[in-house]
Structure 1
Amino acid sequence: MRFNPEKCTFGVRAGMFFGFYLTERGIESNPNKCKAFVELPTPDDKKSIQTLNGMLTSLSRFV
């Protein structure tokens, strides 16, 4: 594995990594994903329910 020094940041308290928010407390949910979930309209057809289910699955480890 090789690291690109231009992309590496050391000594930070929190940051995004593979879509997750890493902090001193551990792995937390991405605030942008939570905001999108809250703003999602009430599902009214099969496709919207599948979308809601997918979003819940991605955030299930934090619930």
Structure 2
Amino acid sequence: MTIASRLRKADSALDARTPTLWLSNGTGPDGGEHLNAPEVGWRWAWDRHTWLGFSSATGRRVKDPQ
């Protein structure tokens, strides 16, 4: 979860939602063809999930399409 990316509301309080990036297991509305696909969405900042973690990156690498 990208907790540091939470936005402030008009009254200066932090929005309860936090942007989140995760890998889909291909269930629900995504369908099996999207197994391990990256997903972007939001979660409640205080709602901890065992399957969510924290990470950082300084760049990205594109997989060779061979």
With normalisation by structure 1, the TM-score equals: 0.22
With normalisation by structure 2, the TM-score equals: 0.22
Larger RCO, structure (CA 8 Å, separation 6 or more): 2
Structure (1 or 2) with the greater strand fraction = 2
Which protein has the larger Cα radius of gyration, Structure 1 or Structure 2? 1
Structure (1 or 2) with the greater helix fraction = 1
